[in-house]
Amino acid sequence: MFRRTAAALAAAAALLLTPVLATSAATAAPAAPGFIDGTDLPPHPTSPWYADEVVKGLPEFPPICLEAGLPASGSWHRRFGTEFDTGAVQISVRSATPAAAAKLARTLERQVAACAADWLRTRPGGTASWEDYGTLPVEEGAHVYGVHTSLPESEPGVHLFGIGRDGSTVTVVQWGQMGNLSDAPVADFRRTTTTAVNKLNP
């Protein structure tokens, strides 16, 4: 009698646990979008690229020009570095809908396009400029920009931004180093941006 009762209790417990396990699997955190590797970035002439792990959330220090435009919810990021002054970061955000993602991409594009003027307003004596390097025909589209900033008695900085979307996922790749817009590897970075959007799994 005891053995039959114990077996019956075990079977009942298994039936009770099954929905709980199924619910846990269904509500598991979504996987991160696909990210580029160091080999996808514009080659550095004297150093390999080193890539950190993909991390949930925004980086501690957001990219220049996008300090306020990126939502923490649904975001992941990956940082890249070299042995010298060149660095990069990719940030991807999953929005609730494709329409919300399209709105976020437009907001980020406007912020980068206005960045040079906004930067100058808070830095008297500095110089800044920007270039629109055009759109890319990948998934729902991507756009590449360049921003140059400089302060007196300081090294100038140049930054490239690639902003693209696939479905409900938006990705931003930012590359930067000391130098001017004429030093920026625009053609290589356009390929980087295309690869970044193609690697998303929206």
CA 175 to chain centre: 11
Q: pLDDT by residue (tens digit) across 96-131?
A: 999 999 999 999 999 999 999 999 998 888 999 999
Predicted local confidence at residue 8, as pLDDT? 47
pTM metric for this prediction: 0.85
Q: Which residues of the chain form beta strands (DSSP E)? A: 50-51, 55-56, 75-81, 87-94, 127-136, 142-150, 157-166, 169-178
Predicted local confidence at residue 29, as pLDDT? 60
User: Cα–Cα distance between 172 and 188 in angstroms, integer?
Assistant: 16
Q: What percent of the chain shows pLDDT beyond 70?
A: 85
Predicted local confidence at residue 2, as pLDDT? 37
Please list, residue by residue across 123-155, b when 16 or more beta carbons sit within 10 angstroms of its beta carbon and e when fewer do: eeebebebeebeebebbbebbbbbbbbbeeeee
Backbone angles phi, psi at 175, to 5 degrees: -120, 140
Residue ranges for the chain with pLDDT beneath 50:
1-27
